[in-house]
């Protein structure tokens, strides 16, 4: 992976700006980049900021291997660029755990990637999860449990 670690000073500054602008008084749960390369992190992060990406999916076994908790509805997280700088704040709106094959057309559409179809989503995520498992020394299975998470962009606020 060539995604840089979070730029903590920039994360702290963006979080402080979000809190001051929104009045939110809860915690920042985490800061993360999408994907497994800086280029993919930038591409997917921009789909959150300027485009249709309102969902993400991750392997349950990867979260467990990294001792990361499941996302929860209401979580506020920072989306990072590939260089570790923050791009946006998102709020989790829905979380479901199920087998990879349980992805539906609506979720594939909400992920906002590729042609937004279930077939494209399954092919792309099978490739990604296979790479991710190999990098972590895990074995990928077609019936692996996946964390399906929907979110909304909450900051920067998009104003008409």
pLDDT, tens digit, for every residue of 9-27? Answer: 999 999 999 999 999 999 9
Report residue 160's pLDDT band, with 50, 70 and 90 as the boundaries: very low
What was the pLDDT predicted at 51?
84
What Rg, from alpha-carbon coordinates, does the chain have?
15
Percent of the chain with pLDDT over 70: 97
Is there a contact between 110 and 151 (Cβ–Cβ < 8 Å)? no
- Looking at the DSSP bridge assignments, the partners of residue 80 are 86
**Strand 76-80's sheet: what is its strand order?**
30-32, 76-80, 86-99, 145-155, 55-59
Percent of the chain with pLDDT over 90: 92
- pLDDT of 43-75, one tens digit each? 999 999 998 999 999 999 999 999 999 999 999
What was the pLDDT predicted at 158?
58
Is there a contact between 42 and 67 (Cβ–Cβ < 8 Å)? no
Kind of pairing between the strands at 86-99 and 76-80: antiparallel
Looking at the chain, list the stretches that DSSP marks H as alpha helix, in order from N- to C-terminal side: 8-22, 38-50, 60-65, 105-111, 118-136
- pLDDT of 114-152, one tens digit each? 999 999 999 999 999 999 999 999 999 989 999 999 999
């Amino acid at each position: 992976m060539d995604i840089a670690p979070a730029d903590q000073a920039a994360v702290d500054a963006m979080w402080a700006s979000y809190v001051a602008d929104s009045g939110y008084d809860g915690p920042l749960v985490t800061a993360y980049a999408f994907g497994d390369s800086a280029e993919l992190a930038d591409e997917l992060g921009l789909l959150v900021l300027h485009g249709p990406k309102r969902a993400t999916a991750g392997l349950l076994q990867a979260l467990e291997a990294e001792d990361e908790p499941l996302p929860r509805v209401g979580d506020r997280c920072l989306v990072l660029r590939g260089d570790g700088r923050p791009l946006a704040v998102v709020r989790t709106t829905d979380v479901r755990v199920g087998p990879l094959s349980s992805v539906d057309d609506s979720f594939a559409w909400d992920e906002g990637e590729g042609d937004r179809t279930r077939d494209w989503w399954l092919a792309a995520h099978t490739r990604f999860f296979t790479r991710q498992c190999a990098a972590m020394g895990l074995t990928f299975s077609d019936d692996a449990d996946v964390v399906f998470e929907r979110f909304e962009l909450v900051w920067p606020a998009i104003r008409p």
